[in-house]
């Protein structure tokens, strides 16, 4: 933003201020409200109504987040590309969303805050009952300069932001992709009670990679209860390692009902707070009809069987408040049918083990924050 | 692997040894050679011949890597699920691949080495002319235990492995996804001469996120030459920030030929060693025919224009030996047509800025290693 731009912007703000007009931007891609179906974002057709609000100090990043959430089947309540915030600021939007009944989760892309104190005071009141997930850039020298020339805000000392986010219960993620994954998880899954992961894997390699990713994120690999080992003995070949990660090591992984039984047994283990599943639990249609060569009736029968197992798993998710995070068969991830099944099952779906471990870490942190903040 | 398993394995190895028979596994998913079209992996149909060999101490991870590379249009020379290595070991396969003319790049998933010294001595001879990319698990307590129960190898001290990989020029990546991305980059792109990145972005937010990701990986944000700024002034609206990251900030991003001109101008800047591009340079067919509503002739005309621009960009990639890493329009990533165009253009394509920055870091490191190892 050059000198001339700054002058023009001040002039617009001045005129609006005199007329008592509040406005979004400038340098904004617009905003949208799915309740009133009002959009200045160039939206075509009806907007699905949802529970997630997106605030972003960058139009292209706003668009990217909105699209990514949409592809994961997550509709929105509001989204705002806040632009240069010559009048309405990030803090104003946050204050509004605090009381917005349509909004259950707030996602924000932040370059810098004009009134950090106000933002974090608001956040502290909001986060005990409405999660805020935020990505904040400007933590390195050049990204801070990039931010300055983009929306004219000062990025500020990263350590200060980190502390303020932590104290006010804001889940600070590292990029827009993590932001979408965490929003998905918060919307579809309970929060884990602790940090002990159970890993159920189609093979030894993926299990070892997942264990390493989890430990590097500060999660613990839970020790299986003896009774769980006995139950798994009855479901698996004698080759299984009789420990966590549970390597299915054999044909069991091909039979969805066996995978579901193994999963349920692990969810009932008191030493595990959530399960990291590395096996296909839902097949995508293209695979069923294509490589497996099933006819339409057989595909339908397969889906019925899957849905039955998913219902049983979901019951356990609710009963024990233990998330199931899934990674493996991802080709069908953005197919609306399988996406709907994943959400119905309460599975958190991630394309990568390190990303999944990272999402779990955030859930664990937020649960711990809530325990302190709300005494529950 | 239990006591009985160990006994049976020793017996098999003993019988084979007496008969002078070498063998893969046991506990292996098989192996394949695309030159002779021999596969024990359950391969259907003809296998495309390629230049990448995959060695993996896990069948499911081997399969995942082979599939991921296949989806990125990368055919293989050989792939081997090495299993428990009761006879032939990782070291034997590496020795074989050192002289295999079909293999130009070696990718390995390693849990532990039986003869580390032999492996790293071989690697030191291979890496100056044939890159080795490896993921090594077992770096944390539980992943080391998982590895032990999986293939019976001792994972060993992680710091020792890290040092040995570094000294022998092996590019050590963090997981199988990075492995595939780095293999793709080595196969399709030159190595950068230095660590200075130029960022060309469709918007300020993505540019700031990319700058931060690059700096966190130890890459530097290059300072644009004055002559480059002048050239860009002629291509962009006056709103552009006149610095790196280059925010196209306007309609220019919609016109492929403008993006291509901007890209070429940045590639000719002496202060930049590679370009991180956050803008669509190739549209996928579904988008052209769908949202943009182009008829088949218009799609063809659009492709012709793209191909012309891609050829010009590729020429610059070759001329200046500067990689272009692309992130943005990823829906068409696995579509064979756009994948072929990406490869033709010498673009490295990544789904995430942090992943992209990570891949660039590995390329920079390997180039520096080669400079010392070969004196070039």
pLDDT, mean over chain B: 89
In chain A, which among 324-363 make CB contacts under 8 A with chain B?
Answer: 351-354
Give the C-alpha separation, B113 to B103, whole Å.
22
Residues of chain A contacting B141 with CB distance shorter than 8 Å = 215
Beta-bridged to residue B221, according to DSSP, are: B197
- Looking only at the bridges linking them, the beta strands covering A49-56 and A30-33 are unpaired
CA A130 to chain centre: 14
C-alpha radius of gyration, chain A, whole number? 23
Same domain, B227 and B288: yes
Provide the residue range defining the domain that includes B341.
Answer: 196-374
Same domain, A208 and A69: no
Nearest to B350 by CA among B317, B311, B324: B324
pLDDT class for B332, splitting at 50, 70, 90? Answer: very low
Instruction: Please tell me which residue, A41 or B365, carries the higher pLDDT value.
Output: B365
ipTM value for the complex? 0.89
B52-110 residue pLDDT tens: 999 999 998 998 899 889 888 899 999 999 988 989 999 999 999 999 999 999 999 99
Same domain, A138 and A231: no
Same domain, B130 and B53: yes
Give the C-alpha separation, A106 to A55, whole Å.
8
Residues of chain A contacting B61 with CB distance shorter than 8 Å = 203, 205-206, 209
Q: What is the pLDDT of residue B197?
A: 97
Q: Which range (A358-367, B36-45, B200-209) has the least confidence?
A: B36-45
* Parts of chain A with a pLDDT under 70: 1-2, 150-156, 250-253, 328-334
Instruction: Map tokens 């935020």 to a residue.
Output: A134
Chain-chain contact of B352 with A207 (C-beta, under 8 angstroms): no
Q: What is the pLDDT of residue B151?
A: 65
In chain B, which among 5-44 make CB contacts under 8 A with chain A?
Answer: 5
Q: How far is A174 from chain B (nearest CA, A)?
A: 9
Both structure tokens of A39: 């959009």
Give the C-alpha separation, A257 to A280, whole Å.
11
Residues of chain A contacting B137 with CB distance shorter than 8 Å = 205, 208-209, 212
Instruction: Give the chain A residue nearest B81 (alpha carbons).
Output: A205
Q: Are A147 and B203 in contact (CB under 8 A)?
A: no
- Is the model's pLDDT at B36 over the cut of 80? yes
Give the C-alpha separation, B87 to B67, whole Å.
27
Same domain, A204 and A266: yes
Q: What is the pLDDT of residue B172?
A: 97
Helix (H) or strand (E) holding A220, with range, is strand A220-221
Quick count: other Cβ atoms within 10 Å of Cβ A372?
Answer: 10
User: Measuring CA to CA, how many Å separate A301 from each of A173, A310, A311, A338, B332?
Assistant: 40, 14, 16, 15, 31
Same domain, B115 and B152: yes
Instruction: Identify which of A58, A175, A221 has the shortest CB distance to residue B354.
Output: A175
User: Measuring CA to CA, how many Å separate B38 from each of A322, B16, B44, B73?
Assistant: 46, 21, 11, 20
What is the sign of the dihedral through the CA atoms of A104, A110, A115 and A120? Answer: positive
Same domain, B229 and B160: no
Q: What is the pLDDT of residue A329?
A: 52
Residues of chain B contacting A204 with CB distance shorter than 8 Å = 58, 60, 111, 146-147, 149-151
Give the C-alpha separation, A292 to A315, whole Å.
29
Q: Are A248 and A256 in contact (CB under 8 A)?
A: no
Instruction: Identify which of B56, B145, B216 has the shortest CB distance to residue A205.
Output: B56
Q: What is the pLDDT of residue B153?
A: 65
Helix (H) or strand (E) holding A14, with range, is helix A3-18
Same domain, B233 and B286: yes
Helix (H) or strand (E) holding B118, with range, is helix B116-126
Give the C-alpha separation, B90 to B107, whole Å.
12
C-alpha radius of gyration, chain B, whole number? 23
Instruction: Map tokens 């197919």 to a residue.
Output: A335
Q: Are B333 and B349 in contact (CB under 8 A)?
A: yes
Q: What is the pLDDT of residue A252?
A: 67
- Is the model's pLDDT at B331 over the cut of 60? no
Does B203 contact chain A (CB < 8 Å)? yes
Q: Are B214 and A139 in contact (CB under 8 A)?
A: no
Nearest to B356 by CA among B189, B163, B229, B168: B189
Q: Who contacts A108 (Cβ-Cβ below 8 Å, separation ≥6)?
A: A54, A55, A56, A90, A94, A132, A133, A134, A135
Does B177 contact chain A (CB < 8 Å)? yes
Peptide bond into B371 cis (omega under 30): no
Q: Give 3-state DSSP helix, strand, coil % of chain B, rounded to 5.
A: 50, 15, 35
Residue B167 sits at φ, ψ, to 5 deg, of -65, -30
Same domain, A58 and A172: yes
Q: Which of B162, B188, B214 is the last residue of a domain?
A: B188
Chain-chain contact of A204 with B150 (C-beta, under 8 angstroms): yes
Give the count of domains, chain A: 2
Number of A–B residue contacts, CB under 8 Å: 170
Instruction: Identify which of B60, B150, B354 has the shortest CB distance to residue A202.
Output: B60
Instruction: Give the chain B residue nearest A221 (alpha carbons).
Output: B142
Same domain, A96 and A74: yes
Q: How far is B122 from chain A (nearest CA, A)?
A: 24
Q: How far is A298 from chain B (nearest CA, A)?
A: 23
Q: Which of B188, B208, B229 is the last residue of a domain?
A: B188
Sheet holding B38-39, edge to edge: B38-39, B30-33, B76-81, B49-56, B105-110, B132-136, B171-173
Same domain, A113 and A151: yes
Does A3 contact chain B (CB < 8 Å)? no
Q: Who contacts A303 (Cβ-Cβ below 8 Å, separation ≥6)?
A: none
Q: Are A209 and B139 in contact (CB under 8 A)?
A: no
In chain B, which among 74-133 make CB contacts under 8 A with chain A?
Answer: 109, 111
Q: Are B55 and A201 in contact (CB under 8 A)?
A: no
Does B56 contact chain A (CB < 8 Å)? yes
Instruction: Identify which of A5, A111, A177 has the shortest CB distance to residue B208.
Output: A111
Give the C-alpha separation, B76 to B70, whole Å.
8
Does A137 contact chain B (CB < 8 Å)? yes
Strands, E assignment, A1-131: 30-33, 38-39, 49-56, 76-81, 105-110
DSSP 8-state class, residue A224:
P
Chain-chain contact of B140 with A216 (C-beta, under 8 angstroms): yes
Strands, E assignment, B4-86: 30-33, 38-39, 49-56, 76-81
CATH of residue B34's domain is 3.40.50.261
Give the C-alpha separation, A19 to A27, whole Å.
21
Same domain, B205 and B176: no
Q: Which of A138, A156, A188 is the last residue of a domain?
A: A188
Does B57 contact chain A (CB < 8 Å)? yes
Chain-chain contact of B205 with A57 (C-beta, under 8 angstroms): yes
- Is the model's pLDDT at B334 over the cut of 90? no
Residues of chain B contacting A174 with CB distance shorter than 8 Å = 354
Q: What is the three-state SS of B34-103?
A: CCCCEECCCCCCCCCEEEEEEEECCHHHHHHHHHHHHHCCCCEEEEEECCCCCCCCHHHHHHHHHCCCCC
B270-287 residue pLDDT tens: 999 999 999 888 877 777
Instruction: Identify which of A203, A243, A352 has the shortest CB distance to residue B58.
Output: A203
Give the C-alpha separation, A48 to B167, whole Å.
55
Q: Give 3-state DSSP helix, strand, coil % of chain A, rounded to 5.
A: 50, 15, 35
């Amino acid at each position: 933003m050059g000198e001339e731009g700054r002058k023009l912007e001040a002039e617009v703000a001045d005129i609006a201020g005199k007329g008592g007009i509040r406005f979004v931007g400038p340098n904004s891609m617009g905003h949208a409200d799915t309740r009133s179906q009002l959009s200045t974002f160039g939206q075509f057709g009806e907007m699905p109504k949802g529970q997630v609000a997106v605030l972003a100090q960058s139009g292209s990043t706003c668009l990217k987040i909105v699209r990514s959430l949409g592809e994961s089947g997550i509709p929105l309540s509001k989204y705002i590309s806040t632009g240069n915030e010559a009048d309405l600021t990030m803090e104003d939007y946050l204050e509004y969303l605090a009381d917005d009944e349509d909004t259950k989760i707030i996602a924000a892309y932040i370059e810098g805050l004009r009134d950090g104190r106000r933002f974090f005071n608001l956040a502290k009141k909001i986060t005990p009952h409405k999660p805020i997930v935020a990505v904040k850039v400007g933590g390195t020298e050049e990204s801070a300069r990039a931010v300055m020339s983009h929306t004219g805000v000062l990025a500020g000392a990263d350590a200060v932001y980190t502390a303020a986010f932590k104290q006010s219960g804001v889940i600070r993620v590292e990029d827009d992709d993590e932001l979408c994954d965490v929003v998905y998880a918060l919307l579809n899954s309970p929060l884990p009670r602790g940090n002990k992961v159970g890993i159920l894997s189609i093979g030894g390699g993926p299990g070892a990679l997942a264990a390493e990713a989890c430990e590097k994120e500060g999660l613990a690999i839970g020790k299986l209860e003896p009774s769980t080992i006995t139950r798994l003995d009855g479901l698996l070949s004698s080759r299984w390692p009789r420990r966590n990660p549970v390597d299915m090591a054999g044909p069991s992984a091909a039979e969805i009902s066996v995978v579901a039984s193994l999963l349920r047994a692990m969810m009932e283990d008191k030493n595990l707070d959530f399960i990291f599943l590395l096996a296909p639990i839902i097949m995508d249609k293209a695979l069923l009809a294509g490589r497996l060569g099933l006819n339409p009736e057989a595909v339908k029968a397969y889906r019925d069987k899957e849905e039955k197992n998913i219902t049983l798993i979901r019951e356990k998710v609710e009963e024990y408040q233990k998330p199931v995070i899934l990674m493996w068969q991802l080709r069908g991830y953005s197919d609306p049918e399988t996406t709907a099944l994943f959400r119905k099952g309460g599975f958190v779906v991630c394309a990568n083990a390190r990303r999944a471990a990272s999402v779990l870490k955030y859930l664990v942190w937020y649960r711990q924050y809530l325990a302190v903040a709300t005494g529950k």
